[in-house]
Amino acid sequence: MVNRSDIHYFGAGPAPLPTAVLEKASSVLLNYKDKGIGLCEISHRSPEANEILEDAKKALSTLLDIPEDYEVLFLQSGGTGEFSAVVYNLVSIWVEKKRAKIAAELSSSSDSEEAKKAEVVNRLRKVVDEELKLDYLVTGSWSLKASQEAARLVGAKHVNIAADSRQVNNGKFGNIPAESEWKLTPRGSGGPALVYFCDNETVDGVEFPAFPQSLEGDDAPLVCADMSSNFISRKVDVRKYAVIFGGAQKNIGNTGIAIAIIRKSLLPPISTPATPDLMRELNLSVGPIVLDYPTIAKNNSLYNTLPIFDVWIAGQVMAGLVDTYGVKKIGGQEEISNDKARMIYDTLDKYPDVYRVVPDKSVRSRMNICFRVHGGDSEKEKAFLAGAEKHGLLGLKGHRSVGGIRASNYNAVSIEGAKCLVTYLEEYAKA
């Protein structure tokens, strides 16, 4: 029988979870707080469920120093669902702002209210046609998919690919263009409805080293960042973002939920989205209610049946980090993540005749370490993976779309696990 302690799992997601959390989960699945029923059986509207939600929010807010003017939402449909949600929600806010401005301009007109309303829609239709833009920084497979989903929802003419890494990297992902080369929608005309980037590309091993300077400033656009695979692995200045989202199944928990951190100024009563009728009149998509941020926020993430067990797992993982790192908060985990990544990359770089790290050194992901063995020789890479498995190192096969090797260095991968991988890399290179 293989013991859990004998295995080090580097899968990209679902990813490993802390053993202590899983051991506690095995107990609460059978009997939660001595109620005689398990956690998966309690009502999502019970006091216990609300307590689980609040505890998870508190832990995340503590780790990332989330300001009070931000809301934390738990949703289903994963990170991919959020590709759609950010478009539905932020485009409707952009449209309503434009409508309100046009309506104010026509307020002194002597025309009837019906005539004014018709004129507002006519002008708004022209504004949407000529000005609506969503900026996407395409730096890997997931940001590409996000841009494609935006084009599917609002039309390709409204999606501006402000940067495409493949254009500076021989047609492949593995770098991030210099900000001076980005073609962002000018802010002077009102700017884009959103600027989207994926902070860490799981498939391609590319991570933004820092928040883009181009998106700083008092007139900064609404920035949406997919942090699915580097959530709670480093410090984040939440105030620079309109929306941060991520699937839980990498660093935070198990598959089943996504977490969104949203600036409250984008929610009622401060901000009002365009009505569904107006959006339809403008031939723009109306999103499903389960992806509507105002609805989810109003109902404390409980508009529909939320998988409370998944939220509990996420809360336990995050609370464990709070207890472990204390005043360092997420900075403590960042130090560990950086040390593990440095250890692995240093070993790979030590043997350039055997290993080749795929992304450029300036944008190497700390979370997803992508490399090739002997230039990508398929038989030798199969042998490498087979040897790794014999050493108890699992989940190292690269994504099916790119192949190669990928060691996902998530929070639950221990220092010991990283050292075991380094030992195998050394042995393989010297064999």
Domains, in order of start, for the chain:
59-310 (3.40.640.10), 329-430 (3.90.1150.10)
| pLDDT, average across residues 399-409 | 96
Looking at residue 364, the DSSP 8-state letter turns out to be: B
Cβ atoms < 10 Å from Cβ of 108: 6
84: nearest Cα among 293, 271, 307: 293
Residue pair 403/376 in contact by the 8 Å Cβ criterion: yes
Q: Which amino acid is it at 230? A: N
pLDDT for residue 281 is more than 80? yes
Residue pair 355/428 in contact by the 8 Å Cβ criterion: no
Which band of pLDDT confidence, cut at 50, 70 and 90, is reported for residue 159? very high
Residue 342: the pLDDT is 98
Which band of pLDDT confidence, cut at 50, 70 and 90, is reported for residue 237? very high
Residue 270: the pLDDT is 96
pLDDT tens for each residue of 33-61:
999 999 999 999 999 999 999 999 999 99
pLDDT for residue 189 is more than 80? no
86: nearest Cα among 258, 256, 251: 258
pLDDT for residue 190 is more than 80? no
Beta bridge partners, 386, equal: none
Q: Helix (H, G, I), strand (E, B), or coil: what is residue 7?
A: coil
For the record, the structure tokens of 158 come out as 């409204």
pLDDT tens for each residue of 192-210:
999 999 999 999 999 999 9
Q: Helix (H, G, I), strand (E, B), or coil: what is residue 288?
A: coil
pLDDT for residue 403 is more than 90? yes
pLDDT for residue 122 is more than 90? yes
Residue 418: the pLDDT is 98
Residue pair 202/226 in contact by the 8 Å Cβ criterion: no
Residue 24: the pLDDT is 97
What DSSP element (H or E) covers 161? Answer: strand 159-164
pLDDT for residue 220 is more than 90? no
For the record, the structure tokens of 312 come out as 């509990």
Percent of the chain scoring above 70 in pLDDT: 100
Residue 217: the pLDDT is 86
| pLDDT, average across residues 321-334 | 98
Which band of pLDDT confidence, cut at 50, 70 and 90, is reported for residue 96? very high
Which band of pLDDT confidence, cut at 50, 70 and 90, is reported for residue 406? very high
Return the sign of the alpha-carbon dihedral for residues 365, 368, 371, 376. Answer: negative
| Phi, psi dihedrals of residue 94, rounded to the nearest 5° | -60, -45
Which band of pLDDT confidence, cut at 50, 70 and 90, is reported for residue 219? confident
| pLDDT, average across residues 232-239 | 97
Which band of pLDDT confidence, cut at 50, 70 and 90, is reported for residue 384? very high
259: nearest Cα among 294, 288, 293: 293
Cβ atoms < 10 Å from Cβ of 99: 21
| pLDDT, average across residues 95-114 | 90
366: nearest Cα among 255, 231, 267, 253: 231
Q: Helix (H, G, I), strand (E, B), or coil: what is residue 133?
A: coil
Residue 139: the pLDDT is 98
| pLDDT, average across residues 113-133 | 94
Q: How far is 270 from 289, CA to CA, in rounded Å?
A: 20
Average pLDDT, rounded, for the chain: 96
Residue pair 226/82 in contact by the 8 Å Cβ criterion: yes
Q: How far is 161 from 184, CA to CA, in rounded Å?
A: 8
pLDDT tens for each residue of 247-275:
999 999 999 999 999 999 999 999 999 99
Residue 113: the pLDDT is 84
| pLDDT, average across residues 91-112 | 92
pLDDT for residue 323 is more than 80? yes
Residue 12: the pLDDT is 96
Residue 109: the pLDDT is 83
395: nearest Cα among 1, 14, 72, 86: 14
pLDDT tens for each residue of 1-24:
889 999 999 999 999 999 999 999
Residue pair 169/175 in contact by the 8 Å Cβ criterion: yes
Q: How far is 83 from 93, CA to CA, in rounded Å?
A: 16
Q: How far is 393 from 8, CA to CA, in rounded Å?
A: 5
For the record, the structure tokens of 402 come out as 């790119």
- Backbone φ/ψ region at 301: left (φ over 0), alpha (ψ -120 to 50), beta: left
